[in-house]
Amino acid sequence: MQTHEIRERFTAHFVKSGHTEVPSASLILDDPTLLFVNAGMVPFKPYFLGQQTPPFPNGTATSIQKCVRTLDIEEVGITTRHNTFFQMAGNFSFGQYFKKGAITYAWCLLTGSLEEGGYGLDPERLWVTCYLDDDEAADIWHHHIGVPKERIQRLGMADNYWSMGVPGPCGPCSEIYYDRGPEYGAEGGPIADDNRYMEIWNLVFMQNERGEGSGKGDFEILGPLPKKNIDTGLGIERVACILQGVDNVYETDLLRPVIDVAAELSGADYGSDHDRDVKFRVIADHSRTGMMLILDGVTPGNEGRGYILRRLLRRIIRSARLLGATGPTMEQFMSTIMDTMTPSFPEIKKNRERILKTAVNEETAFLKTLESGTELFDHAAAETRAQDRKTISGERAFALHDTYGFPIDLTLEMAREQGLEVDTEGFEKLMAEQKARAKADNKAKKHGHQDLSVFREFVDEHPTEFVGYENLSSESTIVGLVHNGQTITEAHPGDEVDVIVDLSPMYAESGGQLGDRGFFRYGGIEFPINDVQKIAKKVWVHKTRIPDNAQLELGAQVETVVDEAWRHAARQAHSATHLIHGALRQVLGPTAVQAGSMNKPGYLRFDFNYTEQLSPEQLAQIEDITNAVVDADYQVNTIETSLEEAKAMGAMALFGENYGDIVRVVEIGGAFSRELCGGTHVGHSSQIGPVAVLGESSVGSGVRRIEAFSGLDSFRYLSKERALAEGLAAHFKTPSNQLPERIAQLTAKLKAAEKHIAELHRQQLSSNISNFVDQAQVVNGVKVIAEQLPAGTKAGDLRTLAADIRGRCGEGAAVVVLAAEDENAKVPFVIGATKAATQRGIHCGDLVKVFGEYISGRGGGKPDMAQGSGTQAGGLDAGFSAVIEELHNFK
């Protein structure tokens, strides 16, 4: 049975039983506690935590959720049951059926005949585990289902008790195992051998509330939940393994084709050597996970999700090379995994080109890094052995990572392959110091899961009616006041208050558009509204500060008013964002996919997945197309329809956004721009006014950003640019249309003059080479030239001069140390060594670190030439002395 059919049978089984089918959420959710969705229940967390009421008619749901777990990347392929990406099929009950229902549903699907829609598993090969004191579940399994007592085993908190890891719902669980036969291990059930007895389904019975604590069992059970819930998870890949009669999850219909491609490209055989097989499995697993992450909008980068993706893709490339592949492989791997996964995820088809381009570009960049980094690593490993050590220093590992872009995980892998270790503690210390020097991350991203339960009653009983598409003011009733996380009945002067009203014309921040500004009018006083946020897509929270000599009370009748100028300019910018997106896709093609946006009155920025810098001609074309649509005066149409119909119309959606059954489509110029969007927009494209593209830049690997002004802000910007051009034209006594040519001529002359001056400077420095060599001192048998050169000498000149001096030193051991203060008050320095010096074990990279300590500098390089830069010129003399002292002590 193919995996796609396994999925279909699961969904059909529960839909037939009255469960609402819930599509898989994106792997990327707006949850600061998670990099990726890592369990099937994650999208349902608000319902289990009591923050929202489940919207399912029968209080039951079913889903097959995409999941990624990356904590144990290093273990991938070593065991044959775990993947970084997996599909978790689940059924959920929110206060409806409980243990008996969950157990019955699971058993019927697993053992039901193929003709009846089941999986047809032999019931005699199924074992179950229950929590130690869960007699109720054990009794259901035995008396209601008929599982013999000897195939029901009891396990403790670590195995059969579930919680989210934080205070909240928890409860015992019951797991279902399949006996794969004596060829896979010892008899005796899951307790005896969990390789032979493969876990396929976990049934969680949420019946209690847990308190504070850590670990799987170190917490207090506070008492029963008001409503008992069910959360189950069946591993699609593991069931496929059983139904397809293969040994492990890597040999199912989804992953085995990638392994076969890897074998063809590398010439290596799969199944004959464990270490080699691990590399095949890494390629298969990471190809699928990488592809699914790119599908959901992740691009390779150096932080967070982007770093995980980059790490996965680079492990694929390196594993392929270790197997024997010599050329590019990513396109074949990605094409193969997309073919196997498309039946279950049809959205792959329209994103195929973008996925391929992202993965192949990362491979191209990494192959260059791999070539240079491997050479540097091999030198570090050889030097470590030459010094009779088994550990590569943290400094070397950090230099490989920071200076040459060689990932630490590859350094660790390569060290293990050569029987060496890495000083990870030293590496981490240097990484921590680097992070301390960098700007702090956005603190909001580091916060835990925000407690929104205070808004639960409003989500359930007082959802906000938004009337802002048609009106800029409304008569409203205050139905909620929240201050410092608590509901209140009155707000007093100076209080920062979240105000909830029954209906509002204020747009709440979402979809990249900032919330409206405006005010409440009450008792002749205006209460400024400086932000509007949305809770659970149902409640508008208006943030205000109570003015002096004023107060607000629950139940008060207020007038809610939108700042008309703010709304007008915000609509212009939001509609302009749609036009920029449409123009972008016309110029760059369908692979330029939106990766985020922000618009506020008069200004917009648009992020998109693309790997190349845009040319001035492309930017000009995007701006021209956008303003042509403005000039065309297209009507802006909004259509409310079903999600499926919107997709059929070709409406574009955002990655990671969850949409309801009924969606709003905003259309400008027909097929030119048709997007799912709940924002506010102009009535006709001409109302946007002129759009001025400011430029584009990189905001991360594979992500570019366009910024632009709209409306009056665009006009003001263009007026300033015109005034600047007129001023330059008057200054240079040149017509404005000839300014580029005139400035280019002057720039060329300036560069020529600078080049001539630099050459004279180099000649002057070179004339002193003989003096430098003649004045050299001999330290421990090594000739040392240590000189501070005139201020303004550049790093490139230092390097050239050091190489020249080194060449003049002949066959003997010599070290050259040159430094200067440049025009930016930085202190570049270079250290070079002759071949005879390096043969004695002198390493310029080590000497650079000694020198750098005295000028607040750092650097690195090869044994015969290294360089760096510092900031404290006052330490140069001490730095020279320290290097000489180091050579004095050298053996």
Q: What are 724-741's pLDDT values in tens digits?
A: 888 888 888 888 888 888
> What mean pLDDT is predicted for residues 147-151?
96
Q: What is the mean pLDDT of residues 429-437?
A: 75
Residue 780, helix vs strand vs coil? coil
Show the tokens assigned to 705: 């950003």
Q: What is the pLDDT of residues 762-801, one digit of tens each?
A: 777 677 788 888 888 999 999 999 999 988 888 888 898 8
510-518 mean pLDDT? 92
- Span between the terminal Cα atoms of the chain, in Å: 70
Stretch among 30-39, 564-573, 779-788 having the lowest mean pLDDT = 30-39
546-572 average pLDDT score? 95
Query: What pLDDT score was predicted for residue 24?
Result: 93
CA atoms within 13 A on the CB side of 824: 8
Any known ligand binding at 681?
yes
* pLDDT of 210 over the 90 cut: no
Residue percentage of the chain with pLDDT more than 90: 60
Q: What is the pLDDT of residues 395-429, one digit of tens each?
A: 888 888 776 667 787 788 788 888 899 999 988 88
Q: What is the mean pLDDT of the chain?
A: 89
Is residue 385's pLDDT more than 70? yes
Amino acid 447: pLDDT:
33
Calculate mean pLDDT across residues 854-880.
Answer: 92
Residue 655 pLDDT: 52
> What is the pLDDT, as a whole number, of residue 166?
74
Token representation of residue 633: 């005066």
Q: Give the pLDDT confidence score for residue 448 in this predicted structure.
A: 35
pLDDT of residue 629: 96
Identity of residue 541:
V
Which of these, 40, 12, 244, lies nearest to 108 by C-alpha position? 12
Query: Could you give the CA distance from residue 338 to residue 355 in angstroms, rounded to a whole number?
Result: 9
| Higher-pLDDT residue of 408, 320 | 320
What pLDDT is recorded for position 455? 85
Q: Quick one: pLDDT at residue 512?
A: 87
Asked whether residue 647 carries a pLDDT value surpassing 90, the answer given is no
Answer yes or no: is pLDDT of 814 > 60. yes
Contact 608, 587 (CB under 8 A): no
Using the structure block, give the residue that is written with the tokens 């618009």.
Answer: 599
- Strongest mean pLDDT among 30-39, 62-71, 435-444: 62-71
Is residue 196 within 8 A of residue 184, CB to CB? The reply is yes
**Mean pLDDT calculated for residue range 41-61:** 87
The pLDDT of residue 657 is 59
Q: Which is higher by pLDDT, 164 or 123? A: 123
Q: Work out the average pLDDT over 214-227.
A: 80
- Answer yes or no: are the C-beta atoms of 158 and 216 closer than 8 Å: yes
162 closest CA partner among 127, 135, 199, 130: 130
Lowest model confidence (mean pLDDT) among 213-217, 560-564, 732-736, 791-795: 213-217
* Mean pLDDT computed over 845-854: 93
CA distances from 712 to 230, 690, 692 (A): 56, 8, 10
The reply, when asked if residue 13 is annotated as ligand binding, is: no
Q: Please calculate the CA angle 860-862-868 and round it to the nearest 5 degrees.
A: 25
d(CA 578, CA 636) in angstroms, rounded, equals 11
**Averaged pLDDT, 2-19:** 96
Q: Residue 684 has what DSSP assignment?
A: B
Mean pLDDT value across residues 101-121: 96
Other CB atoms within 10 A of residue 460 CB: 13
Residue 443 pLDDT = 36
Strand partners, 318: none
pLDDT in tens, 330-357: 999 999 999 999 999 999 998 999 999 9
pLDDT band at 454 (very low <50, low <70, confident <90, very high): confident
Ordered alpha helix ranges (H), 737-843? 739-766, 769-774, 795-808, 835-839
pLDDT for position 439: 41
